[in-house]
Structure 1
Amino acid sequence: MIIELHLLQSFPVSNLNRDDIGQPKTATFGGQLRGRISSQSLKRAARLLFNSYGLGADETGVRTKRLVERAAGLLRDECNRDHEEAVGVVSSGLLALGFGLDKRRKTLTEYLLFVGNEAGKLLADYCERDWDRLASDAADRAKAAEKKKADATEEKKSKVKPDKQTLEEAARILDASRVVDVALFGRMIADNKDFSVNAASQVAHAISTHAVVNEYDYYTAVDDLQPEDESGADMIGTVDFNSACYYRYANLHLDQLTENLRGDTELVARATRAWLEAFIDAVPSGKQNSTAALTPPETLLVVARDRGAWNLANAFLKPVTGNDLMVTSTQQLFGHFNRLRRFYGEDDLRAVVAASISADVAGLAEKEVAPSRHELVSRVLAATKV
């Protein structure tokens, strides 16, 4: 079963998701330049809300390169180990588990690892149990470094294939069977594909329903302690921004989520609710202190279906124009959806629930319109028996 979430959300002056030169991200769609918010940005904004919607800290994860620092800190604080020695031991532990270290900063892993919040504690426990062997290995690596033998090639060679017992330790540390955001968004472990997780949720880049042109704000700042006989600004600069009505789309494959969470139906139910609530509220944090673009979605369409999925972005292949972009975009969204359901049929649709603050929900049956967010969420979860 699949839950699809379609949102229309208008942001005033904002720069929620910047590119490499600081401008709001864009994409060309339907031959016109559109505003864009990356899927990665939206997923992070949603992840940060999961604990506000019923998931515990032990049921969510972190994306980090700093497992060495976290585990070493625990060994220092809880096991009275010398911190510098603990860093070396934990580094050896990660290498023994089959993971590489950053070539320039040996206290970082080679790449970001998406793990549960308990991974640092589990890694520290593993290192404490096998302290003597790992400490010996750390000493050998330190001696090699002093002789300038531990270059990038040497470090790569130090990554060995773990034996069965060590792999079991790695599986325990990387276990994601109760880590909801890993189960939702998946992870890829290059060093051992057995630890990879197939994502249960797909998230599209948000695009504006209309053409956009990025603008910039020219600003000045005056020194508060500037003498009265002096004038002029003490700082001058520009900040790029745009204003746009975005179409957002995400889906959740409940069968994959159930598989990732090892069939724990109670956790699947809470994860599904957290996913739905968090994605409705997800707003990226870029430049928010200077723009406060904290507008919620105004049009919502949620579809529960047995199979298949429909991204409705083509409703806006021809850019929306006019002075009431939200109303026109809503009409385009529901019109496109109804045309698709008439053409492809409704056999796979289990429930359709829609709501709009700004526009009439035209073309939908009265029973498909929800009067509030609470009612919308409740109907969707009831339809999926979650």
Structure 2
Amino acid sequence: MDAIDRANGLLEHYAALARAELPRDARVFDAHTHLGEDIDGMTGDRDELLAIQRAYGIDRSFVFCLDEPDRRPAFTAANDRTLAHAAATTTELLPFVRLDLDESPVEEATRCIDLGARGIKLHPRAQRFLPDDPRLEPVFALAAERRIPILIHGGRGLPPIADSLARLLDRHCPPALIVAHAGIVDLAAMAENFAGRPGVFFDTSVWSPLDLLDLYRLVPPEQVVYASDYPYGRQPNSLLMAVRTARASGLDDAQLRALLHDTSARIADGLDPVTPGAPQGATELSHPVTFLRIHQYLTMASAMLWLRHTSDTYGVVGLAINACDARSNGYHAETEQIRELLVATRDLWDLASQTEDERDRRRAQRGAFRLVHLASVLAVTTPG
């Protein structure tokens, strides 16, 4: 219990820090959240999501189902649950319909739009298709006709998709296309095709702050929208990472307010996009070696926790803790912050290895993952 209490205390501390680093009177719109139960075991709970949103000043979010066990046929049951969740909250949750191209996608999209869906969610990795699939043509045509946005997975698990997605968008142009996970699957080509193109946006739901620094380098801030990817992305990690990387890339308060809220609100409200300016992130990163070492070890630890390793068999958290030694790095206060997170991570991971109940073990592992991620964000975004 000491390990759990210490971890919860740290999360509360960084929650206050994340809220403090927002621009004054800033509002937040989360462009990427899930509710339901995924076949991978992850669960998004409506009451938990609403509690998170209210705690962090998130007044609206786009929400869609996960890759549910009862997804067949056509995600109908899961989409109905999403619509019911949104109806129960009036304005806080804006429902998107999730589609499977194998099972009546246009019919299911039309049914849900008529019932109040505000957009379409596409997941080419989970549903096994690519943007050059001819079955996407009528889906994009419907979105253009009904004037609703599309959000498409742009993260891990795909081959390059930017060029074929651009050709599809040239033929059928919905009012907004949001590329999830900062388009990291094909970021350079995404930027080449879409940077400066009104109506195409990238959400911030990634693990690595380095991905966001690269996104701001390549894409105008007017084309970036805040997103958490709840329940995979959690607070305070998500907001803290988005804000700190934006600040490091030179975004001012007005640009940050737009990224956090206004751009997504315009999409939700059917308004025309703001004309994009120019990217403004730095092309080079100069950073103390100490923090780079820490980040390297934490990347390794994160992968192990994501894959549910029961213990730190490689000792990478210990290496990261030792790298925080202020005798050689000259950043005592900064590395002590990181060390505190990592000691709590080590203890929580040890607790997980000693826990027999599967649910409790996974909860401890997820808590350790959140702490590792916070430490990684600090390692990358703490000024040298």
Where on the TM-score scale, by shorter chain, does this alignment land: which range? under 0.3
From the two aligned structures, give the one with the greater helix fraction.
2
* Larger RCO: 1 or 2 (CA < 8 Å, sep 6+): 1
Q: TM-score, normalised by structure 1?
A: 0.27
Q: TM-score, normalised by structure 2?
A: 0.27
